[in-house]
Chains A and B, each alone.
Chain A
Amino acid sequence: MLRPFELVEPASVAEASELLARHGDAARLYGGGTELLLAMKEGLVHYDYLVNVKTIAGLAGLRLGPDGTLRIGGATTHRAIERDSIVREHFPALARMEEDVANVRVRTMGTLAGNLCFAEPHADPGTLLEVFDATVRIQRAGSERTIPLEALFVGPFETCLEGDEILTEVVVPPPPPRSAAAYLKLGVLERPSVGVGVAVTLDDGRVAGARIAVGCVGPVPRRMREAEALLEGKALGESRAALAEAGRIAGRAADAVSDLHGSAEYKAHLVGVLLTRAFHQAVAGLDVRWKSR
């Protein structure tokens, strides 16, 4: 049983933003409701107004720009992303990650943007999107800004969004040529316990780019830049040899917390394991022939 609330259905971003501004803490943006409604059922939060993001024109769906940029509208569901032929062809790791989010019913209703804005630490999408250097377009009545996705996450269940701001688009730049990504996770309970995303760019047998993000274990998903630096600019064989150390660095930097999913120590260890495996999987996806040194 939910406590009574009013549903408001704006037709535009400006209207939605104005409603959020007007009602302040008594209003919240509502997409698939997969996490919001659970919190409301538990009595953890209550809002007198739910502002339906799905009635806002132009927020559903995704498109690929001429330069290869993927733009995902704020009302696009996980299922739409996982099944989309553009995503499956150009961003296969994203499709793979999306098809393993929660269960098929959550993916049918839940939106990617909603997932990011709810900022549940035990979640998948933010981690992989950070590896892609995704940005998010944030709009309010009369203005907009675009920030790196990583800057969106402030803490558990906390984003940098102002009360009247709406995440209208997730923008994923095209990966450089000869790049591949992989996302690996492990879940001991219903929600994921550890998630690591890795993207690798190869250039003539050298690791021209390595991007690593870790999620689920700490308060927010984060890029692991120190670990990335250890792998970049090396011949592939040398990078592989450095994976264990990169894993240790990332494990420490991940700020893992102990909870029902496991101890911080174990999570940090898993970060290293999944980092190595994701790196190998990404490289394998590039069909590179290499010899170990």
Chain B
Amino acid sequence: MTVTVNGERHELTVPAWETLIECLRDRLGLLGVKKSCDVQVCGACTVLLDDQPVSACTTLAFEARGKHVRTVEGLARGEELHPVQEAFVEHGALQCGFCTPGMIMATVALLGEIPAPTPAEVKHYMRGNICRCTGYQRILDAILAAAGRLAPGGRPRDVG
């Protein structure tokens, strides 16, 4: 099958039963895609399939044929971080970092769909991405900052 991953075309032969996370990690060496709960609850393995968020752990690799897959490795341009990555760093939205790639990809998908989300919209969309370390407040701050709603140095009020 042909699949474009982070802008690069690949011709791969994969068995039907291979999952997308196995394909991305074991075949393509994209170790930023993390395996955690393996039951599509935690979101650590979130990647974008044609700009839509999917759980790589519970998606068969062949579902990516002819499509564009985007992982966290495909966000930065050389040394220049993507605005979402930058916002996560600036707002302290990561600690152990294991949920971070999936969290960032879900954020990219969210902002692609809702460029200026309210805090409630962020919480709803991101409900399926779990973090055991940060307590979520700074991730929320980072997402809103990345969306440009946050005034420099302030905290957002929950407006609904």
B1-36 residues with Cβ-Cβ distance < 8 A to A are 15-19, 22
Residue among B17, B38, B43, B52 facing the most chain A CB atoms (10 A cut-off): B17
Stretch from B57-65, B72-80, B136-144 forming part of the interface with A: B57-65
Q: Would you call A4 and B40 a contact (CB within 8 A)?
A: no
Distance to closest chain A CB from B42 (angstroms): 10
User: B100-131 vs A: 1/0 string, CB under 8 Å?
Assistant: 00000010010000000000000011011100
Residue among A6, A41, A99 facing the most chain B CB atoms (10 A cut-off): A41
User: A178-199 vs B: 1/0 string, CB under 8 Å?
Assistant: 0000000000001000000000
Q: Is the interface of B mostly helix, strand, loop or mixed?
A: mixed
Residues of A within 8 A of B63 (CB): 109
Q: Would you call B54 and A108 a contact (CB within 8 A)?
A: yes
User: A240-263 vs B: 1/0 string, CB under 8 Å?
Assistant: 000000000000000000000000
- Given contact pairs A105-B128, A190-B41, A2 touches B19 in the complex (Cβ within 8 A): yes
Residues of B within 8 A of A2 (CB): 17-19
Q: Which of A6, A34, A50, A79 contacts B40 (CB 8 A)?
A: A34
Residues of A within 8 A of B17 (CB): 2-5
Complex CA gap A145/B17 in Å reads 33
Q: Which of A34, A41, A105, A109 contacts B38 (CB 8 A)?
A: A41
Q: Closest residue of chain B to A54, judged by CB?
A: B63
Q: Would you call B59 and A106 a contact (CB within 8 A)?
A: no
Residues of B within 8 A of A104 (CB): 53, 106, 109, 125, 128
Residues of A within 8 A of B53 (CB): 104-105, 108
Residues of A within 8 A of B15 (CB): 4
Q: Which of A4, A38, A79 contacts B58 (CB 8 A)?
A: A38
Interface: B85 (CB within 8 A):
no
Interface: B55 (CB within 8 A):
yes
Residues of B within 8 A of A7 (CB): 16, 60, 62
Q: Is the interface of A mostly helix, strand, loop or mixed?
A: mixed
Q: Would you call B106 and A106 a contact (CB within 8 A)?
A: no
Q: Would you call A103 and B41 a contact (CB within 8 A)?
A: yes
Q: Would you call A106 and B16 a contact (CB within 8 A)?
A: no
Residues of B within 8 A of A4 (CB): 15-17
Q: Closest residue of chain A to B39, judged by CB?
A: A38
Complex CA gap A6/B18 in Å reads 11
A193-242 residues with Cβ-Cβ distance < 8 A to B are none
Q: Would you call B106 and A38 a contact (CB within 8 A)?
A: no
Interface: B46 (CB within 8 A):
yes
Q: Closest residue of chain A to B37, judged by CB?
A: A190
Residues of B within 8 A of A37 (CB): 19, 58, 60
- Given contact pairs A7-B62, A103-B128, A106-B128, A50 touches B39 in the complex (Cβ within 8 A): no
Given A103-B43, A108-B53: 18 more A-B contacts, CB < 8 Å = A1-B22, A4-B15, A4-B17, A6-B16, A33-B58, A34-B40, A37-B58, A79-B52, A103-B41, A103-B128, A104-B53, A104-B109, A105-B128, A108-B52, A109-B54, A109-B58, A109-B59, A109-B63
